[in-house]
Structure 1
Amino acid sequence: MSKTLATHPHTASRLALSELAPGAMQSEIRAMSVECDRIGGINLAQGVCDTPVPMQVESAAIAAIVAGHNIYTRQDGIGRLRKAIAEKQQREYRLNYDPETEVMVASGATAGLHAAAMALLNPGDEVLLFEPFYGYHVTTLRSMRVKPVLVALAEPDWVLDIDALREAITPRTRAIIVNTPANPSGKIFNRAELEAIADVAREHDFFVFTDEIYEYFVYDGAEHICMATLDGMRERTIVMSGFSKTFSVTGWRLGYVTADAKWMGAMGYFHDLTYVCAPSALQHGAAAGLEQLPPEFYKQLAADHQSKRERIVSALRDAGMEPSVPAGAYYVLAKASRLPGETSAQKARHLLAKTGVASVAGSAFFRPGRGEDLLRFCFAKRDADLDEACVRLRRL
C-alpha cells in the first residue's frame, strides 16, 4: 500500500509553525496605528515623523530616479553616501572610518542591527539591554535565538544602575545594546554612565551596539556622546544610525552602520542576504542632505522638536497624565492611572475611543507586569496635527 499524507506518521509535526512563531505577534505600536487609521484619529503612537522632508533631500532623490539610479547598488551602498557618512562621523565625533571598509548603508537602522547580530552573535548568547527598551531590539535578538537580558533603569529619571548591570552578566553575555537618546524614555546617557558601561565592556570583552538614530533630537543643552569615541571602544562598538528621523523619511528605510573593518565584511554579507541593498535612488537624496544641509538645520531641528515637546507635555499635565519630560528623542512617557482599564493596552484604547488620539501601551517597553500605568506619545508631528491632539487631550 502506498503511503499517503493522511497516514504518514510525521505529517502533523512537519506542517507546523516554527518554534519562534507562536510567541510572535504584531507590535503594540503597529496595532495602535492600525486602530487609529480605522477610526481616523491622530496617530501619536508610531514614530512616523510626518514633518516636512528637507528640500535638498527630496529633490535629489527625485533627480536620481529621473537620472536612472534605479538598479542595485553595492550591498553596502553607493560610494557617495558612504563617503558622506564617514565625513559626518569625523565632523561630529572625530571618528575616522574608511568609507570603503567601515561604513555600510543599511535598509534602516533596524536592518543594521539585524546584520550586526547575525554577524557577531550566536544562538544562546545573551545581550544586556536597558529597560524601558525599544521592542525591535528585543524581538530582533529573539528572532535569532539570542537571549535579551533586561537591566532596569531607576525611575523616575531613568538613571543607570551600574551594579544591576554587573549583576546581569553571565558566562553567556556577549554584548550590550545602548539606545541614546532613547525610545521610549527620551533618556540621554551622560558621559559618566557611558564610561561606566565602557568599563564593563572592556573588562568582560563585550561588544556594544549603539542605536543613535535620535542623535540630533537633544534638548535643554544636553549633549549626545557617541560610545565609540571613548577610550578603547571604537574596535568593539557597532554604531547604528540613519536618516529616517533626521530627514523625516521613515518610509525610505535608510540607515547606516559604522564599525571596525574586521566586523564589517560579515555584516555586509548578512545585509546582502536579507536586503540586497538599500533603495538606490533614495541613497542619493540622503547623500545630498549630508552634503548640503548646514549645521543650523540640525540646531533648528532640535529647537522645533523642543517646542513640540513643551506643547505635548503641557497638554498631558492639563489632562491629568503626569509626563516624564524627555531629554532627547521625540517621545513622552506619561502616567495613565486616571484612565479606566486594568492594563496599559486597555487604557490606550480607552483614550483613543474617547479623544481620537492614539498612544502606545507602556507595557510594550517593559518586561511583563511593568509599564501598565504608562502610555507613550510621539510628538514628531506636523504642528496642526499636534496642536489638535493637544486640544483633544485637554478635554479629559
Structure 2
Amino acid sequence: MSLKVSRRRPLVAQSEIRNMTIECARVGGINLAQGVCDLPVPLPVVRGAAEAMAAGYNIYTRFDGLPALRQAIAAKQERFTGMRVDPDGEVVVSGGATGAFYAACLALLDEGDEVVVFEPYYGYHIVTMASLGIKPAFVTLEPPHWRFTAEDLERAVTARTRAIVLNTPSNPAGKVFTREELALVADFAASHDLFVFTDEIYEHFVFDGRAHVSPATLPGMARRTITISGFSKVYAVTGWRLGYAICDPEWALPIGHFNDLVYVCGPAPLQMGCARGLAELGDDYYAGVSADHQHKRDLFCAALADAGLTPHVPEGAYYALADVTSLPGATAKERALHLLAKTGVACVPGSAFYRGPVGETLARFCFAKEMDVLEDAMARLRRLR
C-alpha cells in the first residue's frame, strides 16, 4: 500500500502546551500550562451573543465579518491607539488571532520566503510558517532584559527575507516592546521593504504604568503592518475563536479571500457578542483587567521566588518565565514533568519557545487563574523549599 501522509505532517505535532495540559489532567493537577484566562465573560458579550441568536444571526456572514463587529473594531482601534481604520476595507474578522495570522501568511508570503522572528517565540507562529514552507530567522532575546539591537536584526536578514513578526506584549516572556524598540523595527522594515506582522492579543494586559504601542501607529508603518488581535484573552472566550487583522486594503482583500477559503466566516452570533462588548465596556473594564493581572503577577512571582524558581517578572500578558535549573532533570521537559509529579502544578518547558539552549533553563507558567486556584498553586510550589 502506497498511501501516506503529506510532507507537511512531520512539521505539525501536538504542542508542548497541549501535551502538558494532558499530563496535568492525567494526574488531576493544576494547569498553569495552557493560556486560558479565568476572567468571567463580560455580561454585554454574553447577552449580545444570546440576543443575536434569538434575532436570527445564525447564517454565514460576509467573508470579512459582520458590519457591526468591523465597525466596533475600527472604533476600538482609534479609541485605544489613535489609528483611523476603514471598517469596510481594512478589517478582516477571522478564526482567532491565529486564524488571522494564517490567512495573512497565505495571502502575503510564498514558500521559500524568510521571516524574522524574536525568540522566545509563540509556537503557533513558527509552525504555521513551517507548514507553508516559510523559514524563520531568529533574533534571540535573553533574560532578564529581553533586549535587542539594530545589529541583531541585520544579522538575521537575507535576500529572501519578506517580513518580521512581533508579539507585544509577548507570549511567553511578557515583554512589552517600547516605542524606541519599535522604532528600530520600523527602520529595519523600511530599509529592507518588509511586512510587519504584529500579534497584539495581549494589548490590554500591561503592567506598572506601561502603555501598549501598536506598531502600525509609528511613522511610515501603516501600509506595511498587519495588525492582529482578538477577543479570546480580554473577554475570556478562547473557545469562540474570534480574532481579526487590520491592514491596508490592498492586503486586506487577499487576506479576506484566504480567510473565506479556510474558515468561511466567524460564528455570526458570537461576532455580535464581541461587537456588543466593544461598544458597551468602558475604560474601567480594561484598566481592571490590567490591574487584576498585575496583582496576580506580583503574588505569583513572589511564590516562584520563594520556591527557588527565579522568575523573570513580565511587563505584560499573563505568563511568567522562571529559571527551573534548580529542579532535577537534564532538560526543561524533564524538569517540568518533575515539578508536575512533585507538586501537581503544570507548566510548559521553555524549549517550546526556543530552538537553542536558553529554553532548556526555563519554564512558562500562566497566572491568569481564579484566585483560589492560584493560591493553591502557589502553596504547592512553595513546598518545594
Correspondent of 1:40 among 28, 31, 55: 28
Residue 167 of structure 2 aligns with which residue? 179
Alignment of 1:21 onto 2:9: yes
Residue 81 of structure 1 aligns with which residue? 69
Correspondent of 1:198 among 165, 186, 189: 186
Asked if the contact 2:197/2:225 (under 8 Å) is kept, the reply is yes
Alignment of 1:136 onto 2:124: yes
Correspondent of 1:273 among 252, 261, 267: 261
Alignment of 1:371 onto 2:359: yes
Deviation digits for residues 181-212 of structure 1 (CA, Å, limit 9, x no counterpart): 00000001101110011001111110000000
Asked if the contact 2:30/2:345 (under 8 Å) is kept, the reply is yes
Residue 43 of structure 2 aligns with which residue? 55
Alpha-carbon distance between aligned partners in 1 of 2:21 and 2:149, rounded to the nearest angstrom? 34
Alignment of 1:380 onto 2:368: yes
Residue 56 of structure 2 aligns with which residue? 68
Residue 115 of structure 1 aligns with which residue? 103
Asked if the contact 1:336/1:375 (under 8 Å) is kept, the reply is yes
Give the deviation of 1:71 after TM superposition. 1.3
Correspondent of 2:82 among 87, 94, 103: 94
Alignment of 1:255 onto 2:243: yes
Instruction: Give the letter aligned to residue 22 of structure 2.
Output: V
Give the deviation of 1:171 after TM superposition. 0.2
Asked if the contact 1:154/1:161 (under 8 Å) is kept, the reply is no
Alignment of 1:264 onto 2:248: no
Give the deviation of 1:34 after TM superposition. 1.1
**Per the alignment, in what secondary structure is the counterpart of residue 171 of structure 2?**
coil
Share of identical aligned residues, percent? 55
Gaps of 5+ in 2: none
Alpha-carbon distance between aligned partners in 2 of 1:196 and 1:215, rounded to the nearest angstrom? 20
Residue 317 of structure 1 aligns with which residue? 305
Instruction: Give the letter aligned to residue 129 of structure 2.
Output: L
Alpha-carbon distance between aligned partners in 2 of 1:155 and 1:338, rounded to the nearest angstrom? 17
Asked if the contact 1:122/1:146 (under 8 Å) is kept, the reply is yes
Give the deviation of 1:266 after TM superposition. 0.3
Give the deviation of 1:23 after TM superposition. 3.6
Instruction: Give the letter aligned to residue 199 of structure 1.
Output: D
Instruction: Give the letter aligned to residue 214 of structure 2.
Output: C
**Per the alignment, in what secondary structure is the counterpart of residue 359 of structure 2?**
coil
Asked if the contact 2:119/2:140 (under 8 Å) is kept, the reply is yes
Give the deviation of 1:69 after TM superposition. 1.4
Alpha-carbon distance between aligned partners in 2 of 1:378 and 1:255, rounded to the nearest angstrom? 21
Asked if the contact 2:49/2:271 (under 8 Å) is kept, the reply is yes
Stretch deviating more after TM superposition (103-112 or 146-155):
146-155
TM-score, reference length from structure 1: 0.95
> 5 Å matches for 1:319-338?
319-338=307-326
Asked if the contact 2:11/2:131 (under 8 Å) is kept, the reply is no
Give 4+ residue runs of structure 1 displaced > 6 Å after superposition: none
Residue 4 of structure 1 aligns with which residue? none
Asked if the contact 2:307/2:381 (under 8 Å) is kept, the reply is yes
Stretch deviating more after TM superposition (144-153 or 368-377):
368-377
> 5 Å matches for 1:320-359?
320-359=308-347
**Per the alignment, in what secondary structure is the counterpart of residue 337 of structure 2?**
helix
Residue 3 of structure 1 aligns with which residue? none
**Per the alignment, in what secondary structure is the counterpart of residue 151 of structure 1?**
strand
Alpha-carbon distance between aligned partners in 2 of 1:115 and 1:251, rounded to the nearest angstrom? 19
Alignment of 1:389 onto 2:377: yes
Alpha-carbon distance between aligned partners in 1 of 2:71 and 2:108, rounded to the nearest angstrom? 25
**Per the alignment, in what secondary structure is the counterpart of residue 360 of structure 2?**
coil
Give the deviation of 1:368 after TM superposition. 3.9
Alpha-carbon distance between aligned partners in 2 of 1:65 and 1:41, rounded to the nearest angstrom? 36
Residue 202 of structure 2 aligns with which residue? 214
Instruction: Give the letter aligned to residue 195 of structure 1.
Output: A
Say how many residue pairs are matched.
384
Gaps of 5+ in 1: 1-10
**Per the alignment, in what secondary structure is the counterpart of residue 117 of structure 2?**
strand
Alpha-carbon distance between aligned partners in 1 of 2:196 and 2:338, rounded to the nearest angstrom? 39
Instruction: Give the letter aligned to residue 300 of structure 1.
Output: G
Asked if the contact 2:11/2:127 (under 8 Å) is kept, the reply is no
Alpha-carbon distance between aligned partners in 2 of 1:229 and 1:286, rounded to the nearest angstrom? 24
Instruction: Give the letter aligned to residue 92 of structure 2.
Output: M
Residue 243 of structure 1 aligns with which residue? 231
Give the deviation of 1:65 after TM superposition. 1.8
Deviation digits for residues 235-276 of structure 1 (CA, Å, limit 9, x no counterpart): 000000011011111111111110000111100010010000
Alpha-carbon distance between aligned partners in 2 of 1:161 and 1:135, rounded to the nearest angstrom? 23
**Per the alignment, in what secondary structure is the counterpart of residue 358 of structure 2?**
coil
TM-score, reference length from structure 2: 0.98
Deviation digits for residues 121-170 of structure 1 (CA, Å, limit 9, x no counterpart): 00000000001101001111011100011111143210122211111100
Give the deviation of 1:280 after TM superposition. 1.1
